[in-house]
Amino acid sequence: MTILESARKGLITDEMRQVAIIEEVTPEFIRAGVALGEIVILKNNAHKNVIPVAVGKGLTTKVSASVGMYHSKDTIAGEIEKVVTAKLAGADTIMDLSVTGDIDSMRKSALITTSKPIGTLPLYQAMAEAKKNKGSSLEMSVDDLFHVIERHASDGIDFLALHCGTTMEVVKRAKGEGRLDPLVSYGGARLMGWMIHHNQENPLYENFDRLLEIANKYDVVLSFADAMRPGCTQDSLIGSQIQEYIILGDLITRARDAGVQVMVKGPGHVPINQIETTVNIQKSLCKGAPYFVFGPLVTDTAVGYDHISAAIGGAISAYAGADFLCYVTPAEHIGLPNKEQVHEGVIAARIAAHAADLANGIDKAVRWDLEMSLARKDLDWEKQIELSIDPETARRTWTERSDDFSSECTMCGKYCAMKIVSEFLNKKKVG
């Protein structure tokens, strides 16, 4: 029985109990959320060493980090180092988005490196293999695609990103409506190319029941990828984006009826005045399924600083109801991130996630802020550093900018407000 089937029958599983402890909610809260489809638990039943992670309504906002081999010079060892970096920085999940090299070995290495849930995008490998074995990505057959999906699922991948809602009708609308940037999604664009070339409907849409069988068998969460996500702020909330959600909404009902958990991927690039609407539309059309957003970036122009642009969009999205943030690194739109950029990307996304959790009144988050502020008032530096989202960076910054490690910092020196006021207001000395 899948997690969703159990939840619908009123059964509380071990996974539900495990995530309930982490989230500080009751197992029944988790069960009810899973049954409604508002919470998904990432745990493939073939993924033995995984610690399940829950994503959805009423829970802390989660952060995913993406790695993967993209260039011929990229190595498995190099990407695994990034997996470790992301894990240490506090990512909740990892996505392996390899498009080249020994993709099978890469995936298996990632699975044994971390106990975090792992997601993939099988179309990348299916097309890479078609190119390698048959000379062109267009030569990928429907069976090829499904064989790769089954391979990923049986290896233990916990969530699969699949562009199930990108139908021919959506593609035609996208062409007609004059998007500034219609080819945003790496996999989505290639899938559209395949559909146009063969003049054939999207195989993931047409053979959706075949997909559900695999997902049910391994209890994989389907992560509906959005080929029509806006890739620039100008394309935000355009018709094809909405149409894809409408189609996904129908597929979500079918998936749930088949006992398969689903979440939906989101943009991308969204101006801040359209974020709330974007989240509300997804929640409404996609029937409350958890929303996994990529950023979103709030401006197209912050090249080199897209982790900051994404932190703004991610925080506002999660406050409005998004559940899961895919990180964006400072290398976005320029190249692939190195280890340091992976670290920066995870921390920036975690700041955004936490800011939203705080605003949404999640107890853990409120407590964390309070403890930090109490440590600040006491000028207790060790405690402040320990409570920092990235203690190592906080310590380094403090150390490099201090002269004598006196109780106050070099910002205000001896004219520290905390110190002065504590002396007069509370008649007690701190620091």
Site for other proteins in 140-179 (CB under 8 A): 171, 174-175
Is 405 a residue that touches other proteins (CB under 8 A)? no
Is 414 a residue that touches other proteins (CB under 8 A)? yes
Shortest spacing between CB 275 and other proteins, in angstroms? 9
Residue with tokens 């030569």: 139
For 292-314, b/e burial (b = at least 16 CB within 10 A) is: bbbbbbbbbebeeebbbbbbbbb
Closest to 231 (Cα-Cα) out of 259, 267, 258 = 267
Count CB-CB contacts under 10 A for residue 325. Answer: 31
Q: Footprint of other proteins on residues 216-255 (CB under 8 A)?
A: 231-235
| One residue of 372, 380, 383, 407 binding other proteins per CB under 8 A | 372
Question: Which of 18/422 has CB closer to other proteins?
Answer: 422
Residue with tokens 């997909």: 211
Of 85-93, 215-223, 249-257, 402-410, which segment contacts other proteins by CB under 8 A? 402-410
| One residue of 20, 252, 348, 379 binding other proteins per CB under 8 A | 348
Of 60-68, 152-160, 213-221, 407-415, which segment contacts other proteins by CB under 8 A? 407-415
Question: Which of 258/430 has CB closer to other proteins?
Answer: 430
Question: Which of 31/173 has CB closer to other proteins?
Answer: 173
Is 197 a residue that touches other proteins (CB under 8 A)? yes
Of 5-13, 200-208, 283-291, 400-408, which segment contacts other proteins by CB under 8 A? 400-408
Q: Which residues contact 337 (CB under 8 A, 6 or more apart)?
A: 82, 329, 330, 331, 345
Question: Which of 46/409 has CB closer to other proteins?
Answer: 409
Q: Footprint of other proteins on residues 83-112 (CB under 8 A)?
A: none
| One residue of 7, 103, 191, 346 binding other proteins per CB under 8 A | 191
Shortest spacing between CB 287 and other proteins, in angstroms? 26
Q: Look up residue 363 and give its amino acid.
A: D
Is 415 a residue that touches other proteins (CB under 8 A)? yes
Is 407 a residue that touches other proteins (CB under 8 A)? no
Question: Which of 112/412 has CB closer to other proteins?
Answer: 412
CA distance 374 to 358: 16
Question: Which of 46/189 has CB closer to other proteins?
Answer: 189
Is 376 a residue that touches other proteins (CB under 8 A)? yes
Q: Look up residue 80 and give its amino acid.
A: I
3-state DSSP call for residue 293?
strand
Size of the site for other proteins (CB under 8 A): 105
Q: Which residues contact 254 (CB under 8 A, 6 or more apart)?
A: 208, 209, 212
Q: Which residues contact 201 (CB under 8 A, 6 or more apart)?
A: 167, 168, 195
3-state SS record for 28-72 = HHHHHHHHHCCEEEECCCCCCCCCCEEEECCCCCEEEEEECCCCC
- In angstroms, the Cα distances linking 216 to 132, 220, 221, 293, 406 are 30, 7, 9, 24, 60
Q: Footprint of other proteins on residues 299-318 (CB under 8 A)?
A: 299-305, 307-309, 311-313, 315-316
Is 428 a residue that touches other proteins (CB under 8 A)? no
Q: Footprint of other proteins on residues 21-60 (CB under 8 A)?
A: none
Of 145-153, 205-213, 215-223, 332-340, which segment contacts other proteins by CB under 8 A? 332-340
Question: Which of 49/424 has CB closer to other proteins?
Answer: 424
CA distance 54 to 292: 12
CA distance 283 to 415: 50
* Residue pair 117/52 in contact by the 8 Å Cβ criterion: yes
